[in-house]
Chain A
Amino acid sequence: DGGITQSPKYLFRKEGQNVTLSCEQNLNHDAMYWYRQDPGQGLRLIYYSQIVNDFQKGDIAEGYSVSREKKESFPLTVTSAQKNPTAFYLCASSLRGQVDFGSGTRLTVV
């Protein structure tokens, strides 16, 4: 079945550590996105990529980094510079108006 896989579902890290969230899609979609979800704030765009080896900052990119070395993969690194990293992170991909979402990763930093 085609879809988007985010792993792990739950992630715990100590404050000050970088952590990488995985997002893989087998839909042959060109574009991929990372959104952050906080209670009462909806989803906010962190980074997006329209093609391999290219990506753009979204509305809240500070403290995050991404790479797009393969069409299928768009990992997100939450760095120690991100002040409030605890959140729910959703990955999405799209092609010609069809947008699909992964099931998310809940990151808790203690």
Chain B
Amino acid sequence: AQTVTQSQPEMSVQEAETVTLSCTYDTSESDYYLFWYKQPPSRQMILVIRQEAYKQQNATENRFSVNFQKAAKSFSLKISDSQLGDAAMYFCAYRSAHISNFGNEKLTFGTGTRLTIIP
């Protein structure tokens, strides 16, 4: 079974600064997807960024980027120029891409990191 570990329950960053959230995972599969989700106080889950394991290039979405280290099974999220609206819980998640799971997009989540932005 796959596991996802987020070792930082809480993080804080000064507005406009950069912060990195850590995530490690364990899997015996070679083909999978990794995600970062944001959950603001409204509790709506919002997809921040996605990484396919077969891609060596790190994914980037505006101020959000990842550092994907497949051999180390590490998947950290970097938020640049932090804004007050970035304050939220952030969840790292794993999904298998194995053919046996076709049509099944069930996710395995980490325990989350609560990010606070200091004005």
Binding site for B on A (CB under 8 A): 30-31, 33, 35, 40-45, 48, 50, 58, 88, 90, 92, 94, 97, 99, 101, 103-104
B47 near A103 with CB under 8 A, answer no
Residues of B within 8 A of A (CB): 4, 6, 9, 33, 42-45, 47, 91, 103-112
Q: How far is the CA of A90 from the CA of B39 in the complex (A)?
A: 12
A-B contact count (CB 8 A): 47
Distance in Å: Cβ of A65 to nearest Cβ of chain B: 18
Q: Check A42–B106 contact: CB distance below 8 A.
A: no
Residue in A45, A88, A101 whose beta carbon sits within 8 Å of that of B106 in the complex: A45
Cβ-defined partner of B109 (8 Å) among A44, A94, A97:
A44
Q: A102 CB to closest chain B CB, in angstroms?
A: 8
Contact A90 B45 (CB under 8 A): yes
Q: Are A42 and B43 in contact (CB under 8 A)?
A: no
Decide: A101 and B44 in contact? CB cutoff 8 A.
yes
